[in-house]
Chains A and B, each alone.
Chain A
Amino acid sequence: AQKITQTQPGMFVQEKEAVTLDCTYDTSDPSYGLFWYKQPSSGEMIFLIYQGSYDQQNATEGRYSLNFQKARKSANLVISASQLGDSAMYFCAMREGGPHAGKSTFGDGTTLTVKP
């Protein structure tokens, strides 16, 4: 079974509107971390936001927020007030175990296109 599932290969959003990118995960480890990365056409992976499995509140970083629903095993990324520069591929990732556990597993990604 896939550990990280991103069901939206592509998404479109109008500039200045909010958009939600879906991510579900599968793990039996009580300690894990969830991440979102942005990859523009240049190829560089840009870290956006992190949510720990024991964090009580949803993570927020500027226009990015993570809608963490632990019981549903979902970690959706919400981008508010979309900008043209947000057009990129977005990856959800999970690290099982504590912070020093090491490697992460990535989803297949969602290509977001922001329309003017």
Chain B
Amino acid sequence: GAVVSQHPSWVICKSGTSVKIECRSLDFQATTMFWYRQFPKQSLMLMATSNEGSKATYEQGVEKDKFLINHASLTLSTLTVTSAHPEDSSFYICSAASPGGETQYFGPGTRLLVL
């Protein structure tokens, strides 16, 4: 099946620094990508929908100035957590909509720990 990669797989950073997470669709072009956040033992919470060449659409309650999303090409979307704080520690997962739009292919996730 389709492959989506995420980099890095895990990151530890100091409070106040910014962290960039990359999401790549390796064998198909993804017009639309999604960014999720997941706390332990909980469901996935959609943060934003990323469309190539346009501004991301953020879900209610998600700070767009804190979670910067860029979808510069059909195979790459990035999420930058700016001025990270310990409460931003979480598991971040991206997904790419399949070419036909029927489903999403998920990346392996990125574990972020902010000290």
Give the interface residue-count category, chain A: 20 to 34
Contacts A103-B34, A103-B49 given; does A47 touch B104 at CB 8 Å: yes
Contact A107 B103 (CB under 8 A): no
| Option from B44, B46, B49, B106 in Cβ contact (under 8 Å) with A44 | B106
For residues 30 through 54 of chain B, which have their beta carbon under 8 Å from a beta carbon of chain A?
32, 34, 38, 41-44, 46, 49
Contact A47 B109 (CB under 8 A): no
How many positions in chain B have a CB within 8 Å of any CB in the partner chain?
25
- How far is it, in angstroms, between the C-alpha of A108 and the C-alpha of B93 when the chains are bound? 16
Chain B interface helix/strand/loop/mixed: strand
For residues 83 through 107 of chain B, which have their beta carbon under 8 Å from a beta carbon of chain A?
91, 93, 95, 97, 100-107
- How far is it, in angstroms, between the C-alpha of A108 and the C-alpha of B109 when the chains are bound? 18
Tell whether B8 is near chain A: CB-to-CB under 8 Å. Answer: no
Tell me the smallest distance from the CB of A26 to a CB of chain B, in Å. Answer: 16
Contact A50 B102 (CB under 8 A): yes
- Give per-residue flags for A13-49: 1 if the beta carbon is below 8 A from chain B beta carbons, else 0: 0000000000000000000010101000011111100
Mind listing 14 A-B residue pairs with CB under 8 Å? A45-B95, A46-B106, A47-B105, A50-B103, A91-B43, A98-B101, A102-B49, A102-B101, A103-B34, A103-B46, A104-B46, A104-B104, A105-B46, A106-B44
Contacts of B109 in A (CB 8 A): 43-45
Tell me the smallest distance from the CB of A88 to a CB of chain B, in Å. Answer: 13
* Other A-B pairs beyond A91-B43, A101-B101, A108-B43, 18, CB < 8 Å: A33-B103, A35-B103, A42-B108, A43-B91, A43-B93, A43-B108, A43-B109, A44-B107, A44-B108, A44-B109, A45-B95, A46-B106, A47-B1, A47-B105, A100-B101, A103-B49, A106-B44, A107-B43
Contacts of B7 in A (CB 8 A): none
- How far is it, in angstroms, between the C-alpha of A104 and the C-alpha of B101 when the chains are bound? 11
Tell whether B64 is near chain A: CB-to-CB under 8 Å. Answer: no
- How far is it, in angstroms, between the C-alpha of A12 and the C-alpha of B56 when the chains are bound? 40
- How far is it, in angstroms, between the C-alpha of A35 and the C-alpha of B44 when the chains are bound? 14
Which of A33, A47, A98, A103 has most B Cβ within 10 Å? Answer: A103
Contacts of B103 in A (CB 8 A): 33, 35, 47, 50
